[in-house]
Each structure stands twice: as C-alpha cells, then as structure tokens.
Amino acid sequence: MENENFIEFHNISKIFPGVKALDNISFNIKRGEIHALVGENGAGKSTLINICSGVLTPNDGFIVINGNKVKISNPKAAEDFKIATAFQEVPICPYMSIAQNIFLGPAPVSKFGLLNEKFMNKKTAELLNMFDIRRHPKDRMGKLSISEQSMIQILRVLNTEPYFIILDEPTSSLSYEQKDILFTVLNKIRSERELTVLYVSHRLEEIFEITNRITVLKDGKFITTLNTNETEIDSIINLMVGRNIDKNSMRKKKSIGSVILEAKDISRLGVLENISFKLRKGEILGIAGLQGAGRTELGRAVFGADKIDNGNIYIDGKKVKIKNISQAIKYGIAMISENRRDEGIIPQLSVKANLILVAYTRVSYIGFLINKKINALVNDFISKLNIKVSSSMQKISNLSGGNQQKVIISRWLAKNPRILICDEPTKGIDVGAKSEIHSMIVDLAIKGISVLLISSELPEILSICDRVIVMKKGRITGELTFEEATEEKIMRYATA
Amino acid sequence: MEELSLKKKVTKGWSQFSERGVFIVLILLVVILSILTPNFRRIGNIINIARQISEISISAIGMTYLIIAAEFDLAVGSVYGLAAIVAAIVLRQGFPVILAFLAALAVGVVVGLINGTVTTKLKVPAFIVTLSMLTIVRGFVYGLSGGYSISIFPESANSFFLLGNSIGGVFPIQIIIMIVLFIIAGVILSKTTFGFKIYATGGNKNAAQLTGINTDRVKIYAFIISGLTAAIAGIISLSYLQSVHPSAGIGREMDVIAAVILGGTYLYGGRGTILGTFLGAAIIGIIRNGMVLLSVPAYSQESFIGFIILIAVIVDIWLKREKD
C-alpha cells in the first residue's frame, strides 16, 4: 500500500557532549509537499538536516521512509534513498567548470571509461536554461557571483533526480528575481514528479509563500506542525520563541556610567552598513540577530581584526584609529571569539600557556617568563573562575567546552580590559557552565567593564543585557532597553 | 604543596619528560650497538659522533623553531654551502677574519628574511618558496666558486680555522659550540616570551592573531633563525675542513628535518623541544656511525635512514591521534 508520508521521524534524539540537540522529535513529511522547518539558531534544525542526509546518526529513535523502517547511516545511504541536500555553506571547486561542479559526485562516463563531457555540458545547459541563468556550462565556477553559485548548488542537487530534497536557507544569498525563479521551478518539479521538499529558512515571508506545512522546533524539541494556510507569521514567531524568561533573576544592582566606546557610521563593504552605537561603562549591550546578520563582523571591526572602510570609533570621546588587534588591546578592548576551537584555544598547549597568552608581559621580565609569577596568576584565575583542571599543565584540549571558555575569558581578564566583546560566549557549553559564565559577565559589568554581548540565544540576551541592538543584513534594525525587550520584538526586528 | 616521596617525584618527572619516547630509542640504540660492536663504546668514537652531528644539529635548532611555528625550510643545505663559500672567499682575499664570520652570518639572515617575507606577506607556501631558494642559493654557490673547491688561504685566515681545532687535540671545539647553542636555544624557546609566541603561532595561528600576536613577524624571525643556524653550520664546516666544495650541503635539509621530526617536534606546528631535536640528531649520528662500524654498505645506509624517519613520523602522527 502506498504510504502518504515520504519520511517519518519517530522519537529522534541526538545528544552532543553537554547538549541535547534533538529531544524526542516525531513528525512526518508527506510525499510531494513542501515542508518548512523553522526555529531559532540552536533549535536543532541543522542536526535534523544532518540526520536526514546521513552526516549524523541519531542516538535514539528511528526513521521511516515509504513505510519502511530505515537507517541512514552515511551520506551514501541518503543518496540511495534519493535524498539530496543543498547545504547552506556551498562547497564548490572554483577552478572547475559549472558542468563539472554539477556532476561532482556521480560523473557520467563514456563507453571508453572517460568522462562524458558532452553529455555533462548538454545536461548542464538544460538546467541553466530552466533556472534562467545566462552562463555557459564550461564557465569557471569561481567567476560566478555568490548568488549564482548557490543556484548552481541547487541545480546540482536537483540533477541527481532525488525524491526528497532538503534546502538549507536556499535564498540567503539570492536576489528577488532568482528567488521567484527558484520557487517556480520547485513547484513545477514537484507537480511533475512528486518531489518532496524540506525547506529550512529563517525567512518567514518566503515560507508562507511556498510551503504547505510548517514544523516548529524549539530548544531541540518538536513544538508543532501546522498547515501554512491556517496560520500566520506572528503565531509562528510566538511558537519559535515563546519561553518564560525571568529577565530579572540574574540581574544585580549596578551603576552604568559614561560612554566608553562609540561607533559612528562604521561600514565595511558588503558586510556592515552605517553602524552607530554607544557603549557605557559597566553596561552589557546585547547584539542580536540571525546568522549572517553581521554581528561577528561588527565585533571583529571594533576589535581591529577587520578593516573599517568608513566611519569612526571613539573611546572616551576621543577619535581613535584601530588598525590592528594589538592596538585594540592597547585601548583596553578584548574579544572572545565565537569559534573557540579554531580561533580560541591553542590545542597543543597547556591550560597555563593558554591562559597567559595575552598577558604574558605581566608575567615576564625583559622577555623572560617568570614561572613564579605565571603560577600565581594562573592559580588565581583557576580558583576565582572555578576552572576544573587536574593541573595547570593539563592540555587545554582535554577540558570540557565550559572550562576551555573559562580559560579563554581568564586570558583576557588577565589583561584588565575595559571593553569585553563576547561572541557567542556560551556556544556548545553545558547548562551549568553556561549560567556560571552568565553570572561572571554580570559581575564583570558590576566591576565597571563594558560588555558587547553578541548572541544568538535570546534568553541569554534577555537575562543579562541592559540594552539590545538588533542587526539584519549588516544594518542595525532596532534597539530595545531590557525592560522593553521580548523575544518576539527582537525576532521581528531580526527578520523584518 | 604536599610532600612527594622520591619515587613519586621520579615517576612524575618521567611522565612529564616529553622526550621520553626518543630518549628510549636512543638508549636502545646505544645498548644494541655496544653489544654488537665493542668499538662503539670507545670514548674516541663517542666524541667522533658528537663532532659529526654538530653541523646537522646546529642547523636543526633553527629548523625546530621554524617547524614549531608551523613552517619549514628546504634551503638550509644551500645556505650552509653559500655561507661557507662566502666566508672562504672573504678569507682568500685576505680580509679580516671577523668579516668572514659576518659575511657568512649575513647570508643566513638575508636568505631567511627573504624566505620569511615571501611566505608570510605574499602568502606563497613555504614549501615552494624554500624549494626555489634551495636552487637559487645553490646557483650562487656555483657561480661564486666557479665550480671549484676553495682550499688555499693566506696566513691571515689561520685564526678562523681555530674553531675547527680540538682542545688538547682530543675534544673538538665545535662540540662546545653545539652545546652552548643548544643551551641558549633551549632557554629562549622554553623560557622567553619570544619562544612562547613561536609555540602559540604554530599551535593555532588564528587564535594567536586574535590575541594580538604578530604571527607574520614571529614566523619571519623563525625563518631568519633557521638561515642563521644553517650559516653557523657552514662556518663550522669550513673551519674544520679548511676547505669548501661547491656541493657542500647538498641534501643536508633532509637530515636536518629528520633530526627535528625524530626529536618529536610535531610536523604541523605547536609542539616540540630543543632537547628532543638534540636527541633526534644524536640518533641519526649514532645510526650512521653504527652502520659504518658494522660495515653496512654505504648505499643501504641511506635507505635505512629513510626508513627510520618514516617510522618516526608515522609514530608521531599516531601518538597525536591517540591523544585527541
């Protein structure tokens, strides 16, 4: 008997060290429908995509495809089930042609065992035509614009003639016209051969334009599945974010002083546009927004890690030119990067060495490191920040995420900064260490350090920030005091 | 601090002795060779080994700095040759000895500076840059020497060759130079902020940059040190042989890199010690010496050395994977 559902998820759970990314998820996707998957950053969407495409396997639960219980244990298995995924980060080979990129996986072979380039080019030309992309199949991929590249990525996925495709933020770099073409083609293919689509996006308007049903995830849990034509954007936002957040439990009495840092109209071509804000002494200023809104880029620009094309930064009311990171550090700015593994820890080195990385001049004398001073400093931070280590000589890579983060925070605190930029400071950190880090940040603000808190987690922003600015596509779209701020308001600024 | 018993202290010290792997290999080699050939144990032979490894191991100092900083240098053999040739020419012209030293050292600094600048600023991989430099510099060696050895010097050059002498005719000065350089290099690498920055740069360049470390500058310094130590090795060779052939140092880079890798320095940067490199160079010296004593045919010796290096690198990568 034909089953109405193409794929069913039964009690799927996926646990990463310290986090439950998916918690007992059950829902189904009907054959031939376009099904939206929505949720905040960290709701579990990517994990679910990765499970469907065989990149991850669930710890618990099972998947049913066409009525049969199956295991998608690796990407090859997903391919066998005719499941194809267009990932958000596009892996392309820039020096190969469009046709070669489209046929990257299963390349057609002529009868002599050589690549059948003629067929590849012909097929590619047809696909390009269908999507109205005016490019030759032999054009080099690297010459294409980003939006064309992401279209090619979708072509490549469709070329495998899948039964089920997963599109992860497919429109994030597309123009309006390209988006329309994509939607027309999707609808066409869907009606022609019952293609099932899982459409993952933050762009709620688009979801209401093209999808049949919407599934909402929150904090790794399944919330609900609704028919698109029976609901509206506001109720979806409420479902995505609706939590009871105690905005005051973490808050402590403190005084916010004069303006320490001011950005006036800072721009960086294609990334930041006319960003202006003020940060006061002892204030925690949240920077909210979706992925790709330019928050990390703003942090890096203030920190001197990226160049600013236009605009000025003022510290204590004086205009300063921050050309590089060491200048930023001299002005008392510190930054904790979002990417702890690649830009934070030095994995081969000990906790001790990682901790003195910024303030090594404090523990040295004419270029010689003084062990006694190092140990005093390191042990002081280990006990003050409650860092769990067996010895300060332990390799940092053997610590948990939370303890690694505490070492990195200590690294900067040892330099006595005035301004601390925290980019996703609790990403991938377990709940206990998370709240420790939150109260640590609050305490720092009480001591007079000004904090720029970049975060995708709205509860984090709402519970410790004094003020929030919301970014979208490199611009500031809204500003809220903590009394005004709610998850709904922030999401509206971030998506509107 | 709690009181530790002697036994515990020893155990703890041993477990923190990061060179213990290569140290065990060295001891095993010494034991095996002592049993196989009684000549090996003779003081004269041991001194001979130490003298033989001094050139490779001094050059390996710079290479250790560089590999810890996650770069490497294929041009050390050519720099070694050019430094020796340049010093020899300066001496032959009857210029003061000090000028010969400075000219040879300048060769190392200049080549290192070029390698470092092109690698970091123009973002050309060190492999390509130093491979090109290997040939370019060797070309200079042939050009300057006209293809002939330089071995006739005026009287004024005599004090230069003192470095190649032995104290009391038995203990070569170059061993003392090696030991002194190793102590200085070890202290700089493990006890100074500069050494610390080398580890940080090689361990995670992005993270180091985000803490304000100028990683390009650190790498350029490491390239210069590599050039400098290669040049010192060239000076020692000239003063010992009182002659230099334009092919001097061809293929030397392989022995130097091998000593560093055998000594446990991690191929991709961030980990390694000067003591390890010394032990690595000692192992290469002992294997070569042992094979001569055991009359292994010269051609098989090369294969055997290559084999040992391959095994050492496999073990190094394997150990690293084990821990992660």
Task: Read off the pLDDT of residues A118-148 as tens digits, 9 standing for 90 and up.
Answer: 888 999 999 999 888 889 999 998 888 878 8
* Same domain (yes/no): A233, A156: yes
Q: Is residue A370 located within the same domain as residue A480?
A: yes
Summarised one tens digit per residue, pLDDT across range B17-72 is 667 777 888 888 899 999 998 889 899 999 999 999 999 999 999 999 999 999 99
- When pLDDT is averaged across residues A350-357 and rounded to a whole number, the result is 94
Any chain B CB within 8 A of the CB of A90?
no
Residue B305 lies in a domain: yes
* B→A interface, C-beta within 8 Å: 16, 191-194, 196, 199-200, 203-204, 206-214, 266, 270-271, 323-324
pLDDT at residue B324, as a whole number: 43
Residue B27 inside a domain? The answer is no
Q: Is A367 on the interface with B (CB under 8 A)?
A: yes
Q: How confident is the model at residue B3 (pLDDT cuts 50, 70, 90)?
A: low
Residue partners of B207: CB distance under 8 A and separation at least 6: A337, A342, A343, A344, A345, A346, A357, B200
Flag whether B21 is in a domain.
no
Q: pLDDT band at residue A151, thresholds of 50, 70 and 90?
A: confident
> How big is chain A by its Cα radius of gyration, in Å?
25
Alpha-carbon distance B319 to nearest alpha carbon in chain A (angstroms): 13
A222 and A126, same structural domain? yes
Same domain membership, residue A268 and residue A129: no
pLDDT at B239 over 90: yes
Give the closest of B199, B212, B270 to A358, CB-based. Answer: B212
Q: Which amino acid is at A401?
A: G
State which residue of chain B sits closest to A335, comparing Cα positions: B210
Q: Is residue B125 part of a domain?
A: yes
The answer to whether A208 faces chain B, any CB pair under 8 Å, is: no
Q: What is the pTM of this model?
A: 0.81
Give the C-alpha separation, B215 to B99, whole Å: 33
**A343 part of a folded domain:** yes
Looking at the complex, does the CB of residue A346 fall below 8 Å from at least one CB of chain B? yes
Q: Which DSSP string do the residues of A193-247 spell out, in sequence order?
A: H--EEEEE-S-HHHHHHH-SEEEEEETTEEEEEEEGGG--HHHHHHHHH-----T
Q: Are A275 and A264 in contact (CB under 8 A)?
A: no
DSSP string, B286-305: HHHHHHHHTT--HHHHHHHH
* Pair A304, A162 in one domain: no
Kindly indicate the confidence band of residue A245, based on its pLDDT and cuts at 50, 70 and 90: low
- Looking at A194-208, A362-376, B209-223, B226-240, which range is the least confident one? A194-208
Does residue B299 belong to any structural domain of this protein? Answer: yes
Does some domain include residue B291?
Answer: yes
The per-residue pLDDT of chain B, averaged, comes to 90
Residues of chain B above pLDDT 70, percent: 94
A165 and A291: one domain? no
User: What pLDDT shows up at residue A203?
Assistant: 81
Q: Which residue has the higher pLDDT, A105 or A185?
A: A185
Residues A214 and A79 reside in one and the same domain = yes
Residue A67: give the domain boundaries: 5-241
Helices and strands counted in chain B (H then E)? 13, 2
Token pair in block for residue A414: 């040892």
| Lowest pLDDT segment from A330-339, A397-406, B79-88, B195-204 | A397-406
In contact, B226 and B76? CB cutoff 8 Å? yes
Q: Is A253 domain-assigned?
A: no
- Residue A50, token pair as written in the block: 């990765």
Q: How far is B192 from chain A (nearest CA, A)?
A: 4
Instruction: Assess whether A204 and A283 both reside in one domain.
Output: no
Flag whether A247 is in a domain: no
Which positions ≥6 away from B45 have C-beta within 8 Å?
Answer: B39, B289, B293
**pLDDT score at B189:** 95
A432 and A309, same structural domain?
A: yes
In chain B the first and final C-alpha atoms are separated, in Å, by: 30
Same domain, A191 and A334: no
CB A207 within 8 A of CB A228: yes
Q: Which of A12-21, A231-240, A474-483 has the highest mean pLDDT?
A: A474-483
Query: How many CB pairs below 8 A link A and B?
Result: 77
Residue A49: enclosing H or E segment and its boundaries? helix A45-52
User: Would you say residue A402 has pLDDT above 90?
Assistant: no
Report the sign of the C-alpha dihedral through residues A357, A361, A362, A363, in that order: positive
Q: Is position A231 within any domain?
A: yes
pLDDT tens-digit series, residues A431-462: 778 888 999 999 999 999 999 999 988 888 99
Please state, for a pLDDT cut of 70, what percent of chain A lies above it. Answer: 97
Number of domains, chain B = 1
- Residue B108, pLDDT above cutoff 70: yes
Higher local confidence (pLDDT), A178 or B61: B61
- Out of A325, A358, A397, the one facing B324 most closely (by C-beta) is A397
The answer, yes or no, to whether residue A71 has pLDDT greater than 60, is yes
Bridge partners (DSSP) listed for residue A480: A468
Give the DSSP letter of residue B113.
H
Average pLDDT for chain A = 89
Q: In this complex, do B208 and A346 lie within 8 Å of one another by their Cβ atoms?
A: yes
The HSE-up count of residue A318 (CA atoms within 13 Å, CB side) is 5
pLDDT, tens only, B268-287: 899 999 999 999 999 999 98
A20 shares a domain with A129: yes
pLDDT for B1 beyond 60: no
B270 contacts A348? CB cut-off 8 A: yes
**B232-to-B105, B134, B143, B223, B263 alpha-carbon distances in Å:** 7, 17, 21, 14, 21
Question: Domain total for chain A?
Answer: 2
Q: Name the DSSP letter for residue B3.
A: -
CATH number of the domain within which B224 lies = 1.10.3470
For residue B187, what are the domain limits? 38-323
Q: Of A241, A268, A284, which marks where a domain is finished?
A: A241
Q: What is the pLDDT of residue B2?
A: 47
Average pLDDT over residues B196-211: 95
Do residues A433 and A340 share a domain?
A: yes
Q: What pLDDT is recorded for position A437?
A: 92
**Dihedral (CA of B81, B82, B86, B87) sign:** negative
Residue B19 lies in a domain: no
**CATH number of the domain to which A48 belongs:** 3.40.50.300
pLDDT at B315: 73
Please give the sequence-ordered ranges of beta strands (E in DSSP) within A346-474, or none if there are none. 364-365, 368-369, 419-423, 450-454, 467-472
Res A319 pLDDT > 90: yes
Closest residue by Cα to residue B200 from A327, A391, A390, A369: A369
Best A322, A357, A361 member to test B by mutation, with max B CBs in 10 Å, is: A357
Instruction: Establish if B308 belongs to a structural domain.
Output: yes
Alpha helices in A331-415 (DSSP H): 340-343, 351-355, 371-384, 401-413
